[in-house]
Amino acid sequence: MKKFKPFIIPILLLVIIDQTVKIVISKLFMKCEFDIMIKTLRFNPELNTRLSYGGNFFELLSSPFVTILLNILVLFLFISGYMLYQTKKSRTSFWVKVIMICGIAGSLCSLIDKLFWGGSLDFLQIPTLFIFDLKDCYLTVAEVIFVVIGILHSKEISVKEYLYFVCNKFNL
């Protein structure tokens, strides 16, 4: 747990920001719609009850049970991946900290959305493409940095090594 202590406050802060914004929007601004950046970004609140982006295309990904299980799996992947990272590195890089903070905060926000909102209160829209919220921004930041680091350090770790580590660490 000591390894994760530095992440607790930043993660909680991002979760509180995400959920506070959603509460304020749900109470005061659900019927508002306006351009933030003309023809690029709009404020357009909408409760997405499909529970995931994939839920718009595949019914299975709209199931509360399935999407909650996927959230828990993603949280496990972040935590176990970081545990493996710690066995290989003595110091956590800034970018890995950003991945952990944004990834775990985004995953927790998603879990809260599913459990307490019955979906995600999305409010930022790129016209004709999609609508999203702060949690999606957190997750996108984590994903992009993860991919870049993964490409730059692809020789240092493999999926096979990760699976071996997880099986041994968690007695699977």
Tell whether the model's pLDDT for residue 55 goes beyond 80.
no
For residues 41 and 51, what is the distance between their CA atoms, to the nearest angstrom?
22
For 75-113, write each residue's pLDDT tens digit: 999 999 888 888 888 888 999 999 999 999 999 999 999
pLDDT the model gives residue 59 = 82
**Cβ atoms 138, 14 nearer than 8 A:** yes
Asked if residue 152 is part of any domain, the answer here is yes
Token pair, residue 5, equals 């202590």
Confidence of residue 126 (pLDDT cuts 50, 70, 90): very high
18 inside domain? yes
Residue 2 lies in a domain: no
Is 1 a domain residue?
no
**CA torsion through residues 9, 117, 140, 107, sign:** positive
Q: Which two tokens stand for residue 170?
A: 């968690």
Give the integer Cα–Cα distance in Å for 16 and 11.
9
The number of domains in the chain is 1
**Taking each helix axis from N to C terminus, what angle separates 64-88 and 159-169, rounded to the nearest 10 degrees?**
100
Q: Does residue 77 lie in a domain region? A: yes
**Whole-prediction pTM:** 0.90
Has residue 58 got a pLDDT over 90? no
Residue 68 in any domain: the answer is yes
Rounded Cα gap, residues 16 and 24, in angstroms: 12
pLDDT tens digits, 3-27: 788 899 999 999 999 999 999 999 9
**For residue 75, is it within any domain?**
yes
Determine the average pLDDT of the residues in 146-161: 85
Q: What number is the average pLDDT over the span 131-154?
A: 92
Is 128 a domain residue? yes
- 50 is in which domain, residue-wise? 7-169
Note whether 102 and 138 are within 8 A (CB). yes
DSSP string, 56-78: GT-GGGG-HHHHHHHHHHHHHHH
26-54 confidence digits (pLDDT tens) = 999 999 999 999 989 999 999 988 877 77
